[in-house]
Structure formats: C-alpha cells, structure tokens
Amino acid sequence: MQLIKGFEMVKLLIIILDGASFIFTNTFCWFMDNVMWFWSRFKRGLMYIDEPPLTPCVVNSMFTGLRTQEHGVIGFSRAGRESIFIGEFKGKYLWDEAAEKGLKVKVLNVPCKIPTVNINVDLYNMDWIDCFAPPKDNFEALIERYHSIVRRNLMAECDLFIVWYPIPDQAHHHFFATINNYEKLHEAFKWYNRAFGYAKDLIELSRPESFMILSDHGFMSDFEEYIAAGKKQHIHIRDGLAVTNIDEIPRAPRDVYRIAKRILGIP
C-alpha cells in the first residue's frame, strides 16, 4: 500500500509516540483532527504490550525482536544520567543489520540505551537529556525545537528513519496525570493531537513508501507492579498502538522488528 504515488524520500519511516494509549486515542479520536487524519486513511490497532510496560524494555524488544529477559534491558535504575536503565543489550539492532546490508540508516533519539541512540543525525547542540525528558517549565518550547531538528534530519533520502518523541507520555506526567475534570481531558486532547500532528508533518515531508507509528504503552498503571533488580518500577497500562500503511499491523512489540526486516529485505 503506497501513501503517495510518485517519489518517496524514505523507504521505511518508524515514529514512536511514547505513551500513546490506543484506547484513549480510539475513544476520543473525533475530538482530535490530526488523529482523525490517520484514522480515516490508514490501518490502526491495539498493540498489546507483552513485555514489562516500560519504555526501555519495550523499545529494545521492538528493535531486536527479543523478549525483555533475552535483550537484558529490564527497567529503570534512576541512579543518574549515566545509569538510568537496568541492563544493556550487547547485540545487533535493526539499524545495525540494515547498515550491514548497505542501506542508508538514520536513528534519532531512540531510548534503547543511555545516552539515547543517534545515528547519522545532527542534534544541533540540543542535549540528549532534553530530548529524552524535557522539563515541565519549558516543555512546549523544547518539543517544538526538537520537532524542527527531526524535520531537518529527515529532509534527505534514506532507507530507514526511526525517531522517538517524548509525547504524549511526558506531557501526561507533566500536565494530565489524573484526568479528573474537563480541563484535564482537553489538555490530553491537546497533547495527543500535537503528537499526531508531528507524525503527520513527518509523513507529508518525507513521503515514505511504508510507515509505522507506534507507542510503547499507555497511561500510568495503578493496579500492576513490576520489580526489576529489586527496584519497584512505575509501570504503564499495556495498550500500545500501531498505525500503518503496511498490510500487516504489529500486534506485539517484537512484531515491529520482523515486519521492518521484511520491508527492508533483510534476511
């Protein structure tokens, strides 16, 4: 399935919108025009998070095809900038396999490791920690700047472009952690619509042959616990999402790796 007939700048574009709940997005899609742009044109579905519903666990599974206990990134240590994650994967990621095949690869701010993974891109002097966890007091300005950096890096032909956005999750923690009134609900609409607006902009800019918009989990969970290396983790609800113009919708994080390899022609 082609997005736009004619010249494509990117063969496969993968956009991760951290914390985008399928249930919330699908329930309230009518209130968000950028969401409806996708919902009315492409395939979408719930991607059940069958790994620990934490960003580093899930994102590593997406790009290795391995379960959490196999890739070894099992949670957050919260011990400082240099050791935020518990565990580190030592093998090859999707982008490593693509590069070995001679494909043009760009990876921007993907939190499989700390610092985040950036390959063949320029952050234009923006600190990785501001891309990973923008602070509340200037969140909106940093996100706008970040998106402009993503656009600048995307304006060139490549086979695989992967980018991670710290929304809606970080906005959820900052601005609508508890949706207990009309104002908080509309704050959630604002940030979800903003996230999908960025994704729409990237798709219109790069005209990808194939794309996947993914999330790694939904809202914070108040009923499930997870302990990693003796540390209690603040985990999320397991409703990730997938929106795509590809025939197959990923139903679990590890499907992303398999589908991407098929699209890119990697054995």
- Sequence length of the chain is 267
Distance CA 240, CA 50 (A): 10
Q: Which amino acid is at 172?
A: H
Q: Whole-angstrom Cα distance, residue 154 to residue 248?
A: 25
pLDDT of residue 73: 97
Residue 5 included in any domain: no
Q: What is the largest CA-CA distance in the chain?
A: 53
**Across the chain, what does the average pLDDT equal?**
94
Q: How many domains does the chain have?
A: 1
pLDDT at 84: 87
Which ranges constitute the DSSP H helices of 155-239?
169-175, 182-206
User: Residue 34 is part of a domain; what is its CATH number?
Assistant: 3.40.720.10
Residues 6+ apart with CB under 8 A from 22: 44, 45, 46, 47, 215, 218, 239, 240, 241
Is residue 1 situated within a structural domain? no
Query: Does a structural domain hold residue 4?
Result: no
Residue 229 contacts residue 52 (beta carbons within 8 Å): no
* pTM beyond 0.85: yes
- Unique residue bearing structure tokens 């093998």: 91
Q: Residue 123 pLDDT more than 80? A: yes
Q: What is the pLDDT of residue 79?
A: 60
Tell me, yes or no, whether 3 lies in a domain.
no
- Asked if residue 177 belongs to a domain, the reply is yes
Question: Tokens 């113009």 map to which residue?
Answer: 245
pLDDT for the residue numbered 1:
37
Give the integer Cα–Cα distance in Å for 254 and 165. 19
Domain that holds residue 174: 10-264
pLDDT tens-digit map of 53-107: 999 999 999 999 999 999 999 999 876 555 689 999 999 999 999 999 999 999 9
Q: How many CB atoms lie within 10 A of CB 120?
A: 15
pLDDT above 90: percentage of residues in the chain: 91
